[in-house]
Chain A
Amino acid sequence: MKKQVKVVLLAMVLLCLGGLLFAQGEKAVGVTGAGAAANLEASLKVDTSVLKAADGQPLLRLSSELPKIPTRPANPEALPDTDPLRWFDMEYAGWDTKKTNIPASPKDGAIGKRVVMIVHGDHPWTTACSNGAKKVADAYGMDLKILSPNWDLAVQNQMIDQSINERPDMILIIPLDATTAIQQARRINQSGIPFIFFNTLPTAEAMNYAITWTGPDDFGQMRKLAKVFADEMRRRNPGAKELGIAYVQHAPGGSPYFARSYGPLSELAGYAPEVVTLDMQAPGFEADRTMQLVSDWLTRFGPRLKGIFAADDSAQALGIIEALKKAGRDDIVVVAAGNSKIGMDMVTDGSLFAITYQTAEGDGALAVQTAADWFNGKELPNRRDIPQHIITKADVADFYPPQW
Chain B
Amino acid sequence: MNGIQKVDTRALQTNRFSKLLSSIGIYAIAALFIVLGVVLQSMGIINNFLTTQNMMNIVDAVALLGIVAVGMAFITYSGHYADLSAPTTIALTGIVSVELLRFGFIPAIMGAVVVGLIIGIINGIVIGKFKANPIIWTLAMSYVSMGVIRFVWVNKQIYPDVITDDPFPVMLFDNIYRFRFFNAISLPLIIMLVLVVVGQFILKRTAFGAQLKLTGSAKRTAKFSGINVELMIALAFIISAFTTTIAGLAITSLSRVGAYYNGAGYDFRAVTAIVIGGMTLAGGRGSIIGVLGGTLVIGLMNNIMTLLGVGTFSQDIIRGAIFILVVGINAKTLRSMGRDDA
Of B53, B159, B251, B264, which is within 8 A of A327 by CB?
B53
Q: How far is the CB of A400 from chain B (nearest CB, A)?
A: 11
Residue A228 is within 8 A (CB to CB) of chain B in the complex: no
Partner-binding segment picked from A137-145, A176-184, A294-302? A294-302
| Residues of chain A contacted by B251 (CB below 8 angstroms) | 287-288
| Residues of chain B contacted by A327 (CB below 8 angstroms) | 53
The answer on a CB contact under 8 Å between A123 and B155 is yes
Partner-binding segment picked from A20-28, A201-209, A275-283, A357-365? A275-283
A294 to B156, CA, bound (A): 29
A296-B254 in contact given A124-B156, A124-B157, A322-B178 (Cβ < 8 Å)? no
A352 to B20, CA, bound (A): 50
A123 to B156, CA, bound (A): 7
Partner-binding segment picked from B44-52, B109-117, B220-228, B238-246? B44-52
Interface 0/1 of B47-70, CB less than 8 Å to A: 111010110011011101100000
The answer on a CB contact under 8 Å between B312 and A249 is yes
A145 to B265, CA, bound (A): 32
Q: Which of A334-368 contact B (CB under 8 A)?
A: 341-342, 345
The answer on a CB contact under 8 Å between A300 and B157 is no
The answer on a CB contact under 8 Å between B306 and A297 is yes
Residue A314 is within 8 A (CB to CB) of chain B in the complex: yes
The answer on a CB contact under 8 Å between B306 and A300 is yes
A299-B254 in contact given A122-B150, A126-B155, A292-B57 (Cβ < 8 Å)? no
Residue B338 is within 8 A (CB to CB) of chain A in the complex: no
Nearest CB in chain A to that of B302: its residue: A292
A127 to B60, CA, bound (A): 34
The answer on a CB contact under 8 Å between A295 and B157 is no
| Residues of chain B contacted by A285 (CB below 8 angstroms) | 261
Residue B303 is within 8 A (CB to CB) of chain A in the complex: yes
The answer on a CB contact under 8 Å between A296 and B302 is yes
The answer on a CB contact under 8 Å between A282 and B312 is yes
The answer on a CB contact under 8 Å between B61 and A288 is yes
Q: Which of B48-102 contact A (CB under 8 A)?
A: 48-49, 51, 53-54, 57-58, 60-62, 64-65
The answer on a CB contact under 8 Å between B254 and A300 is no
- The 9 A-B pairs with the shortest beta carbon distances in the complex, nearest first, are A292-B61, A296-B306, A295-B57, A282-B312, A122-B155, A299-B54, A299-B48, A124-B157, A287-B254
**What is B's interface to A at a CB cutoff of 8 Å?**
46-49, 51, 53-54, 57-58, 60-62, 64-65, 150, 154-157, 159, 161-162, 177-178, 186, 251, 254-257, 259-261, 264-265, 299, 302-303, 306-307, 309, 311-313
Apart from A288-B251, A345-B256, what 15 extra A-B contacts exist at CB < 8 Å? Answer: A127-B155, A287-B255, A288-B61, A291-B254, A292-B57, A292-B58, A292-B61, A292-B302, A292-B306, A298-B57, A299-B53, A299-B57, A315-B255, A322-B177, A341-B257
24 contacts between A and B (CB under 8 A): A123-B155, A126-B155, A127-B156, A279-B306, A281-B306, A281-B312, A288-B251, A288-B254, A292-B57, A292-B62, A292-B302, A293-B306, A296-B306, A299-B49, A299-B51, A300-B47, A300-B307, A314-B257, A323-B57, A326-B57, A341-B159, A341-B162, A342-B159, A345-B161
